[in-house]
C-alpha cells in the first residue's frame, strides 16, 4: 500500500507566519498532520529542527528576489 500526498497549494499574501505574523513563505506539514507556516526568517532559523519533525516542507523563499535598482542617466537630470 502506498500513500500519496496531495500537492501543496501556493502560499498567498493571506498566509501569515505562526511566529511573528509576517507573510509566510514556508509551509511545514508535520507527522501529526498539523501544519505550520513561517516567514523566510523564521523558516531559516528553525530549519534544522523542522526537518526532524516534518513530512514535507514547502519552501517559496525563492520568490523573495531583490527588486531591480533604478539607475538614473544624465539625460534624466
Helix/strand number for the chain, H first, E second: 2, 3
Q: What is the pLDDT of residue 65?
A: 82
* pLDDT for the residue numbered 74: 66
In whole angstroms, how large is the CA radius of gyration of the chain? 17
Q: What is the pLDDT of residue 24?
A: 98
Domain residue spans of the chain? 14-62
pLDDT along the chain (77 residues), means of 10: 58 97 97 95 96 96 82 64
Going by the DSSP 8-state scheme, the letter that residue 23 receives in this structure is B
Amino acid at each position: 500500500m502506498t500513500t500519496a500526498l496531495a500537492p501543496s497549494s501556493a502560499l498567498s499574501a493571506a498566509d501569515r507566519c505562526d511566529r511573528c505574523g509576517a507573510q509566510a513563505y514556508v509551509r511545514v506539514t508535520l507527522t501529526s498532520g498539523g501544519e505550520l507556516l513561517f516567514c523566510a526568517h523564521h523558516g531559516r532559523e528553525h530549519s534544522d529542527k523542522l526537518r526532524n519533525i516534518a513530512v514535507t516542507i514547502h519552501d517559496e523563499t525563492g520568490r523573495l528576489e531583490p527588486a531591480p535598482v533604478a539607475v538614473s542617466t544624465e539625460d534624466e537630470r
